[in-house]
Amino acid sequence: MLKKKGTSASVSIRKMDIEDIDAVLIVERDAFPTPWTREAFISEVSKNKFAYYFVLELKGHIIGYCGLWKVMDEAQITNIAILTEHRGQSYGEYILLYVMQWLRGVHAKNLSLEVRESNTPAQSLYHKLGFSQVGVRKKYYADNQEDAWVMWVNLNDNYISN
């Protein structure tokens, strides 16, 4: 568990458990027009040996999460989300930095993700943390056929640390 520095509020990050799925589904449904199902999260947390999920808690309540797959020395973010009312307060940056640090500790070299072309706040965060746009997935999002930017970072490069 990691506690956020520089705040009086109790903020922590820990690995996600099956018992966290109901709270994570609230975040998921708040953040995405086509949210993952309960069954998808159960499978990820209990069956997928390549999946790692982390939750961000504020005063004991889950307000965000980040999921990823790690295969050998490569990692891919599957989803990352913060409840709407807690966005713009650096919680997304905090959990992403935590995940990047954790990945370095388990010897991952590269991290990639997809982000909506229209999601400029997320793109700004990813650029800030050293990600570069390396490609486009045309009509990636099923809800509106929006393109996704493929972004990538070398975890051995310098990035902002907390």
Report yes or no: 95 and 31 within 8 Å, Cβ to Cβ: no
pLDDT at residue 107 is higher than 70: yes
pLDDT at residue 81 is higher than 70: yes
Confidence class for position 62, pLDDT limits 50, 70, 90: very high
Q: Which of 39, 114, 140, 146 is catalytic?
A: 114
Q: Which of 53, 91, 126, 141 is catalytic?
A: 126
How much is the pLDDT for 9?
A: 64
Here the tokens at position 65 are: 């999460």
141 is catalytic: no
65 is catalytic: no
Report yes or no: 155 and 111 within 8 Å, Cβ to Cβ: yes
Minimum mean pLDDT range among 33-42, 123-132, 150-159: 150-159
Q: Tokens 């891919």 appear where? A: 76
Q: Give me the amino acid identity at 40.
A: A
What CATH fold (topology level) applies to the domain 2-154?
Answer: Aminopeptidase (3.40.630)
Confidence class for position 1, pLDDT limits 50, 70, 90: very low
